[in-house]
Amino acid sequence: MQNTTIAPRDASWREELRKAMTAKERTQIPRVKMTELDPAYRITCNEEVNQGITAEQAVLEATRCLDCPQPTCMEGCPVAINIPGFVKNIQRGDFMMAAAVLKETSALPAVCGRVCPQEKQCESKCIYHKMKKEPVAIGYLERFAADYDRMSEKKSAPAMPERNGIKVAVVGSGPAGLSFAGDMIKKGFDVTVFEALHQIGGVLKYGIPEFRLPNSIVDAEIDTLRQLGVKFINDVVIGKTLTYDQLVEQGFKGVFVGSGAGLPRFMGILGENLIGVMSSNEYLTRVNLMGAGRPGYATPVKKGHSVAVIGGGNTAMDSVRTALRMGAEHAYIIYRRSEAEMPARIEEVHHAKQEGVEFLTLCNPVEYRGDEKGNVKVAVLEKMVLGEPDASGRRSPVPTGEFLELPVDEVIVSVGVSPNPLIPRSLEGEGLKVSRKGTIEVNDDMESSIPMLFAGGDIVRGGATVILAMGDGRNAAQHMAAQLIEQPVEA
Amino acid sequence: MNKIVSKEHFSENVVKLVVEAPLIAASRRPGHFVIVRCGEKGERIPLTIADADTKNGTITLVIQAIGPSTKEICALEPGQFLTDVVGPLGKATDIRKYGTVVCCGGGVGVAPLLPIIKAMKEAGNKVVSVLAARTKDLIILEPQVREHSDEVIIMTDDGSYGQKGLVTNGVEEVINREPVDLVVTIGPAIMMKFVALLTKKYNIHTMASLNTIMVDGTGMCGACRVTVDGKTKFVCVDGPEFDAHKVDFDEMLMRLRSYN
């Protein structure tokens, strides 16, 4: 990617920046600290917890970056952002150019700067680790540049190539679809995104809460795509309202499916259908998408006093922290392994603890009991110990036969999702290859068994991250575009 | 935004709306439902499609005003708009020639039953429709049901119209007099439960269209889950129709009270 970037390493200004300070001086600078809202205050509202860093902090943090000849951070990025290129632009004070570098490869930099697990990706590969020092805060810097760009009068718009008039359709407006749409519009295609829900944004809207990713940020990113010419159509379920064949008839030459991980998983234990037991998808959708709990909004939500959230992923953390904000006195994370095996981001676990979430690790629910009206009252948990590592490489939980009863009035099950069956089912007769788990099977180019039908994100992966979904969208866009341009379509 | 083309009051609290939705009108089949939202702060409400007109690009919805959101929808006048209509959702009814089909509906359940009655008749079945309500004024769509049925039996709780008695009395009357190959039931959960109990006694295959609480209607949230044959199913993507003899109606009735 670096050879096509607007911020190449051999640019004279970058050489000057490298010469201006020694590596030793740079590594003496401590890593920037993110400003956070006070935990006692933030659980009373939905305001974003991370407040961002100032321009001075950003420039200083960017100075820490050694501008390595072989930037390993980029290997850790699923979309291969030119990380030193944007970081060094921040250092020289050209924040708009920094944002432009981000936009070369990422459709949603302000989103990624907030929700990417940088500690497992770019920052995990930073050279600073070799010096036993904290890595450059790449995520904070990404967020800084994207926010600066969004809030400035004149946004940095990526250069637009000529329109080629070829129509492509996108199914789903989550991170995979948005990323695909952004890339295809920049390549000159005529892009239409179909969304089943009434709002555009997919999981970024219905799933990730306001206090972690404000909707205004997502809307700004969508507006940028709209300005570039992407068409968004809500309330259309592809496979139901319009079939794949109809899309083809309407002249769409390629279709990208990013319909996400629709179906929430339950554990199949006794009492799981009691009133007050629900999926994290339901809970978060009610609160985030439907505005439940906010004045004037019609959708109801149960406001539990003692809320148990089952699971240890980011969605579990989002749910438990939402429960606190909805007024829960006790909000528990129930996780069957120990904290070390938790898949959630360290920052989310840290924030949850600061806010007063109680962690019951090495506990696994085996049954829920309710009152005579069917309201959940008790979660029966079995104590676990850690055994040998399982297929995931993490130590597996082993039941002990010892139980405890936890009084609860709301349980949120956050143990993963299965792919949404709508699209695969609607294409059953067309020869779409679907795995045993229900995911769409694709080749390395993200193309399915149906030619020119591409797919990416959770409908392919079965449950991953925003950035991996975006990476799939990029990958699919690159290969679909190559195929469509190589074989010019008949007029 | 979907425009209301016309409106008709079936009773004080039951309204028929004809709504512009050309794509849905073209793709819907009997048994499908839509999700409707009224206002930017509105709930998503599942409603079964009562009819569709592909020429004019409209669908027909019958709504009973029970909560604040359904009251708001019922108050809409022609020329006004529903904020969102999305669909058709769910699996369509398995329409084929069974022989004699008894279609029994209670209250507003008659509305989504009508397209099934029509399609069953067109597929060559003998269709006996049993319409039930508390009282005469609440019997809806009777002329339309008559047009597509071989016979119509009306049951009212208070005997103000047709025969006095419950829907199950009407269904049992048919069962006692002739072989019945299939029963389709749509109405309040408690009614469908008793229809299922009755037909199970006679071992007659019975389909029930369930009306559970939903949020997205596309399989995402699981609010609509029911137990069918001991397994958890999602009404929105696995249904809305299920083998009535296998549905745990008691659990469904309990879950319907989640927000009461």
Q: How distant is the alpha carbon of residue A201 from its chain centre?
A: 11
User: Residue A5 falls within a domain, yes or no?
Assistant: no
Look at phi and psi of residue A251 and say left if phi exceeds 0, alpha if psi is from -120 to 50, else beta: left
pLDDT, one tens digit per residue, over A190-221 is: 999 999 999 999 999 999 999 999 999 999 88
pLDDT, one tens digit per residue, over B100-147 is: 999 999 989 999 999 999 999 999 999 999 999 999 989 999 999 999
Whether residue A103 contacts residue A85, with contact meaning beta carbons closer than 8 Å, is answered with no
For residue A285, give the nearest of B39, B216, B255 by CB distance.
B216
Whether residue A418 contacts residue A263, with contact meaning beta carbons closer than 8 Å, is answered with yes
Is the Cβ pair A285, B221 closer than 8 Å?
yes
**Does residue A157 surpass a pLDDT of 50?**
yes
Closest residue of chain A to B254, computed from CA coordinates: A374
Mutate to test the interface with A, among B69, B71, B215 (most CBs of A within 10 A): B215
- Please name the residues between 224 and 243 in chain B that touch chain A, using a CB distance below 8 Å: 225-227, 232, 234, 237
Is the Cβ pair A278, B223 closer than 8 Å?
yes
For residue A263, give the nearest of B23, B215, B219 by CB distance.
B219
Number of domains in chain A: 3
In a shared domain, residues A220 and A342: no
In a shared domain, residues A326 and A458: no
- For residue A264, list chain B residues with Cβ-Cβ distance below 8 A: 220-222
- pLDDT value at residue A430: 82
User: Residue A2 falls within a domain, yes or no?
Assistant: no
- pLDDT value at residue A197: 95
For residue A241, give the nearest of B24, B216, B251 by CB distance.
B24
User: Residue A246 falls within a domain, yes or no?
Assistant: yes
Mean per-residue pLDDT of chain A: 92
- Residue type at A443 in one-letter notation: N
Size of interface A-B (CB pairs under 8 A): 111
Buried b / exposed e along A436-469 (16+ C-beta atoms within 10 A): eebbbebeeebbbebebbbbbbbbbbbbbbbbbb
Q: Which residues pair with A299 in a beta bridge?
A: none
* Dihedral (Cα; A411, A414, A420, A421), 10-degree rounding: -60
User: Residue A490 falls within a domain, yes or no?
Assistant: no
- pLDDT value at residue A393: 84
**Predicted TM-score of the model (pTM):** 0.93
> What's the CATH number where A273 sits?
3.50.50.60
pLDDT, one tens digit per residue, over A94-116 is: 999 999 999 888 878 999 999 98
For residue A374, give the nearest of B24, B85, B254 by CB distance.
B254
For residue B27, give the nearest of A241, A285, A420 by CB distance.
A241
Whether residue B103 contacts residue B31, with contact meaning beta carbons closer than 8 Å, is answered with no
pLDDT band at residue B241 under the 50/70/90 scheme: very high
Handedness of CA A184, A186, A187, A192 (dihedral sign): positive
In a shared domain, residues A190 and A317: no
Question: Region A126-150: what's the mean pLDDT?
Answer: 95
SS3 of residue B258 by DSSP: coil
**Does residue A461 surpass a pLDDT of 60?**
yes
**Boundary of a domain, candidates A94, A122, A151:** A151
- For residue B89, list chain A residues with Cβ-Cβ distance below 8 A: 237, 240
Three state DSSP letters for chain A? CHHHCCCCCCCHHHHHHHHHCCHHHHHHCCCCCCCECCHHHHCCCCCCCECCCCHHHHHHHHHHCCCCCCCHHHHCCCCCCCHHHHHHHHHCCCHHHHHHHHHHHCCCHHHHHHHCCHHHCHHHHCHHHHHCCCCCCHHHHHHHHHHHHHHCCCCCCCCCCCCCCCEEEEECCCHHHHHHHHHHHHCCCEEEEECCCCCCCCHHHHCCCCCCCCHHHHHHHHHHHHHHCCEEECCCCECCCECHHHHHHCCEEEEEECCCCCEECCCCCECCCCECEEEHHHHHHHHHHCCCCCCCCCCCCCCCCEEEEECCCHHHHHHHHHHHHCCCCEEEEEECCCHHHCCCCHHHHHHHHHCCCEEEECEEEEEEEECCCCEEEEEEEEEEEEEEECCCCCEEEEEEEEEEEEECCEEEECCCEECCCHHHHHCHHHCCCECCCCCECCCCCCECCCCCEEECCHHHHCCCCHHHHHHHHHHHHHHHHHHHHHCCCCC
- pLDDT value at residue A154: 67
User: Residue A228 falls within a domain, yes or no?
Assistant: yes
In a shared domain, residues A120 and A179: no
Is the Cβ pair B24, A198 closer than 8 Å?
no
Mutate to test the interface with B, among A173, A203, A237, A285 (most CBs of B within 10 A): A237
- Residue type at A127 in one-letter notation: I
Which of A457, A430, A426, A427 is CA-nearest to residue A442?
A457
Is the Cβ pair B227, A273 closer than 8 Å?
yes
Q: Which residues pair with B89 in a beta bridge?
A: B33
Beta-carbon count within 10 A of B140 CB: 24
- For residue B259, list chain A residues with Cβ-Cβ distance below 8 A: 300, 302
- Beta strands B14-20 and B81-82: pairing type? unpaired
Question: Region A86-98: what's the mean pLDDT?
Answer: 96
In a shared domain, residues A432 and A373: no
Residue A121 — φ and ψ, nearest 5°?
Answer: -115, -115
- For residue A273, list chain B residues with Cβ-Cβ distance below 8 A: 225-227, 232, 251, 255
Which of A97, A102, A51 is CA-nearest to residue A77?
A102
Is the minimum CB–CB distance between B85 and chain A shorter than 8 Å? yes
- For residue B42, list chain A residues with Cβ-Cβ distance below 8 A: 298
Is the Cβ pair B215, A299 closer than 8 Å?
yes
For residue A240, give the nearest of B27, B42, B251 by CB distance.
B27
- pLDDT value at residue B129: 97
pLDDT, one tens digit per residue, over A303-324 is: 999 999 999 999 999 999 999 9
In a shared domain, residues A294 and A391: yes
- pLDDT value at residue A266: 95
Closest residue of chain A to B252, computed from CA coordinates: A273
In a shared domain, residues A271 and A396: yes
- pLDDT value at residue A213: 95
Whether residue A361 contacts residue A316, with contact meaning beta carbons closer than 8 Å, is answered with no
In a shared domain, residues A191 and A69: no
**Does residue A280 surpass a pLDDT of 80?**
yes
- Residue type at A318 in one-letter notation: D
- pLDDT value at residue A424: 84
- pLDDT value at residue A2: 41
In a shared domain, residues A269 and A400: yes
pLDDT, one tens digit per residue, over A326-361 is: 999 999 999 999 999 999 999 999 999 999 999 999
pLDDT band at residue A261 under the 50/70/90 scheme: confident
- pLDDT value at residue A155: 62
- pLDDT value at residue A84: 97
In this prediction the ipTM stands at: 0.93
pLDDT band at residue A34 under the 50/70/90 scheme: very high
Is the minimum CB–CB distance between B71 and chain A shorter than 8 Å? no
Closest residue of chain A to B234, computed from CA coordinates: A263
In a shared domain, residues A284 and A407: yes
Distance CA B162, CA B172 (A): 15
**Does residue A488 surpass a pLDDT of 60?**
no
pLDDT band at residue A490 under the 50/70/90 scheme: very low
| A interface with B, Cβ–Cβ below 8 Å | 196-198, 206, 234-237, 240-243, 262-264, 266, 268, 272-273, 275-276, 278-279, 281-282, 285-286, 290-291, 296-300, 302, 373-374, 420-422
A438 lies in which domain range?
167-262+419-484
Whether residue A31 contacts residue A125, with contact meaning beta carbons closer than 8 Å, is answered with no
Is the Cβ pair B27, A243 closer than 8 Å?
yes
Q: What is the share, in percent, of chain A residues with pLDDT greater than 70?
A: 97
In a shared domain, residues A274 and A403: yes
Question: Region B194-208: what's the mean pLDDT?
Answer: 97
Mean per-residue pLDDT of chain B: 95
- For residue A240, list chain B residues with Cβ-Cβ distance below 8 A: 27, 87-89
Strand order in the sheet with A231-233: A231-233, A190-194, A167-171, A252-257, A453-455
**Boundary of a domain, candidates A381, A416, A451:** A416
Is the Cβ pair B42, A273 closer than 8 Å?
no
pLDDT band at residue A158 under the 50/70/90 scheme: low
- pLDDT value at residue A304: 93
Mutate to test the interface with B, among A205, A263, A283 (most CBs of B within 10 A): A263
In a shared domain, residues A216 and A72: no
pLDDT, one tens digit per residue, over B22-48 is: 999 999 999 999 999 999 999 999 998
Is the minimum CB–CB distance between B99 and chain A shorter than 8 Å? no
Closest residue of chain A to B38, computed from CA coordinates: A298
**Does residue A156 surpass a pLDDT of 90?**
no
**Does residue B244 surpass a pLDDT of 70?**
yes
The kind and range of the H/E element at B84 are strand B84-89
- pLDDT value at residue A159: 63
**Does residue A3 surpass a pLDDT of 80?**
no
Question: Region B39-67: what's the mean pLDDT?
Answer: 94
For residue B225, give the nearest of A197, A273, A373 by CB distance.
A273
> What's the CATH number where A98 sits?
1.10.1060.10
Question: Region A55-74: what's the mean pLDDT?
Answer: 96
Give the tokens for residue B163: 């025969």
User: Residue A224 falls within a domain, yes or no?
Assistant: yes
User: Residue A371 falls within a domain, yes or no?
Assistant: yes
Give how far A232 is from chain B: nearest CA, Å: 14
Is the minimum CB–CB distance between B142 and chain A shorter than 8 Å? no
pLDDT, one tens digit per residue, over A262-275 is: 789 999 999 999 99
Worst-scoring range by mean pLDDT, A51-60, A266-275, A461-470? A461-470
User: Residue A83 falls within a domain, yes or no?
Assistant: yes
Distance CA A136, CA B104 (A): 68
Closest residue of chain B to A414, computed from CA coordinates: B221
- pLDDT value at residue B60: 96
